Amino acid sequence: MSDVIRSASCCDDGPEAATLTVDEARQKIIDTICPISSSEKLTLRNALGRVLAEDIISPLDVPGHTNSAMDGYALSGDDLPPSDGQIYPVIGKSFAGAPFNGRCKTGQCVRIMTGAVMPEGTDTVIMQEHVETTGPDRVRIAGGHHRGQNVRQAGEDIKAGGTVLQTSHTLTPADLGILSSLGTGEVRVRRRPRVAFFSTGDELRSIGEPLAIGDVYDSNRYSLYGMLKRLDVEVLDMGVVKDDINELRNAFSEAASMADVVITSGGVSVGESDYIKPILEQTGEINFWKIAMKPGRPLTQGRIGNSLFFGLPGNPVAVMVTFYQFVQPALNFLASGRRSLPWTIMATSSVDIFKRPGRYEFQRGILEQGADGQLTVIKTGQQGSGVLTSMSLANCFILLPEDCDGISSGETVQVQPFSTFI
Ligand code: AMP
Ligand code: MG
């Protein structure tokens, strides 16, 4: 795990540095990450979603042979019919997997199916819909065709010796198809990041336990689990840890010994039982702990040993917002060495949105596409950082940058669809 954190101090600006902007915080996190370099070989199916640790060089042309893109008739481009058409004898058939072995001469054509190898002497295919059968093995082809039509050239998709996929690329379903079309059954991919996480708080109860007054069920571990599960990471759920400095210290070191990334929730404010920041100061290093954002201002970020540390706030919405905005891009960078930011798009707000300048707000919105194709967005109602139903109802974040002083109905606003996080 020594490849996780760069040796450069992550506290160059001092732990008490001023409140950061969202962009500054993102950059400060990325600056401390050294992407995982160790790798393993996996069979194709197991490699879906994994990050390539090698360039893939094609051993062959795809398609391997020039072939027909249509069901129809193959002939030479030198021998196309005049504008009033011409009759041709059909001298044979070429099927996908059963090529025609003869040669097609001037005045002749060959029946051909999609994917079948082009017979010798042919370079053009006439769709069967443009051909009239005039007798057994005789067809009439009308005019108006051109040389090379409806033919797929050997190597037009992939050339032998060419780089098909580059190292650090994340393998998609299309890539599995491409790799199998090359006959490649195994690929070298980077090791997945290991992520340990736990919730902190004396009031937290696990499902199945009775609730006393003031207790709450631990929901952050479940939303965190859900967000992590959708990423290509190994997940280590360490449960709930009490607001006890010794228990927390032990949990920190246990998590750091197992994982590349440690995530906690709760205990990062400045209350009397908020121990995360002091423990990180003692046992690791703080990169920053305040961001000018809402929700999620008290995000404590740094490292413990060689592990990257994220002390997320306790409020359930703040957990999800800070995870998507900071943890997920960091995990992606750790896994691949590529920076990725969620897509944003513009939509028209159908409502007034109140906001004071100062903090970057991530309000929860519902994005809709009207019959005219236009995108509009509304808020999900209550925006409190404990109102987790706002995340469940929403399908996007409405992005209100630091200097924004509110949005009037009808104005354009930037949104981040949740689908970009998957
Ligand atoms: P804290 O940051 O620890 O002061 O927590 C802020 C708020 O979030 C409090 O109302 C906590 O009860 C709540 N909270 C903290 N952790 C969790 C959790 N794991 N699940 C649900 N609510 C939590
Ligand atoms: Mg707490």
Alpha helices, DSSP H only, in 233-302?
245-258, 276-283
- Looking at residue 232, its pLDDT comes to 86
Given pLDDT bands bounded at 50, 70 and 90, which one contains residue 275? very high
Query: Does 380 contact ligand 1 (Cβ within 6 A)?
Result: no
Query: Could you identify the atom of ligand 1 that is nearest to the CA of residue 200?
Result: 16
Nearest to 413 by CA among 367, 368, 363, 347: 347
pLDDT at 321 over 60: yes
Residues 76-100 have a mean pLDDT of: 97
Query: Does 204 contact ligand 1 (Cβ within 6 A)?
Result: yes
Q: Tell me the C-alpha distance between 320 and 223, whole Å.
A: 7
C-alpha angle with apex 184: 180 to 185, nearest 5 degrees? 90
Given pLDDT bands bounded at 50, 70 and 90, which one contains residue 14? very low
Question: 289 CA to middle of ligand 2, Å?
Answer: 16
Cis peptide upstream of residue 63 (ω within 30 degrees of 0): yes
Q: Tell me the C-alpha distance between 264 and 275, whole Å.
A: 11
H or E element at residue 176: helix 173-181
Q: Tell me the C-alpha distance between 59 and 163, whole Å.
A: 10
Q: Tell me the C-alpha distance between 50 and 43, whole Å.
A: 11
Query: Does 322 contact ligand 1 (Cβ within 6 A)?
Result: no
Residues 207-234 have a mean pLDDT of: 96
Query: Does 89 contact ligand 1 (Cβ within 6 A)?
Result: no
Q: Tell me the C-alpha distance between 270 and 318, whole Å.
A: 16
Q: Tell me the C-alpha distance between 380 and 330, whole Å.
A: 28
Model confidence over 225-254: pLDDT tens digits? 999 999 989 999 999 999 999 999 999 999
Residues 220-225 have a mean pLDDT of: 98
For the four alpha carbons of 408, 412, 415 and 419, in that order, the dihedral sign comes to positive
Query: Does 341 contact ligand 1 (Cβ within 6 A)?
Result: no
pLDDT at 295 over 50: yes
pLDDT at 8 over 80: no
Q: Tell me the C-alpha distance between 368 and 376, whole Å.
A: 5
Q: Tell me the C-alpha distance between 135 and 316, whole Å.
A: 76
- Looking at residue 10, its pLDDT comes to 36
- Looking at residue 421, its pLDDT comes to 86
Model confidence over 156-203: pLDDT tens digits? 999 999 999 999 999 999 999 999 999 999 999 999 999 999 999 999
C-alpha angle with apex 273: 267 to 277, nearest 5 degrees? 50
- Counted residue by residue, the chain has a size of 422
Mutate to test the pocket of ligand 1, among 205, 211, 216 (most ligand atoms within 8 A of CB): 216
Given pLDDT bands bounded at 50, 70 and 90, which one contains residue 340? confident
Check if the beta carbon of residue 216 is closer than 8 Å to that of residue 319: no
Q: In this structure, are strands 285-288 and 300-304 parallel, antiparallel, or unpaired?
A: antiparallel
Model confidence over 27-44: pLDDT tens digits? 999 999 999 999 999 999
| Cα 199 from chain centre | 26
H or E element at residue 333: helix 328-336
**Cα–Cα distance list, 403 to 179, 290, 360, 384 (Å):** 47, 18, 8, 21
Residues 131-158 have a mean pLDDT of: 96
Mutate to test the pocket of ligand 1, among 202, 204, 279 (most ligand atoms within 8 A of CB): 204
- DSSP state at residue 234: E
DSSP string, 191-226: PPPEEEEEEE-TTEE-TTSPPPTT-EE--HHHHHHH
Which residues pair with residue 62 across a beta bridge? Answer: 158
Query: Could you identify the atom of ligand 1 that is nearest to the CA of residue 386?
Result: 8
Q: Return the number of other C-beta atoms located less than 10 Å from residue 260's C-beta.
A: 25
**Cα–Cα distance list, 322 to 183, 327, 365 (Å):** 42, 7, 16
Residues 309-318 have a mean pLDDT of: 97
At residue 25, what are phi and psi to the nearest 5 degrees?
Answer: -65, -45
Residues 84-111 have a mean pLDDT of: 97
Give the closest residue (by CA) to ligand 1 atom 6. Answer: 314
Q: Tell me the C-alpha distance between 111 and 75, whole Å.
A: 9
Structure pTM? Answer: 0.89
Query: Does 216 contact ligand 1 (Cβ within 6 A)?
Result: yes
Query: Does 365 contact ligand 1 (Cβ within 6 A)?
Result: no
- Looking at residue 17, its pLDDT comes to 53
221-235 burial string, b = 16+ CB within 10 Å, else e? Answer: bebbeebbeebbbeb
Q: In this structure, are strands 124-127 and 72-75 parallel, antiparallel, or unpaired?
A: antiparallel
- Where does residue 148 fall: left (phi above 0), alpha (psi -120 to 50 degrees), or beta otherwise? left
Q: Tell me the C-alpha distance between 254 and 194, whole Å.
A: 13
Query: Does 315 contact ligand 1 (Cβ within 6 A)?
Result: yes
Q: Tell me the C-alpha distance between 41 and 25, whole Å.
A: 35
- DSSP state at residue 73: E
- Looking at residue 88, its pLDDT comes to 98
- Side-chain-side CA neighbours of residue 71 (13 Å): 2
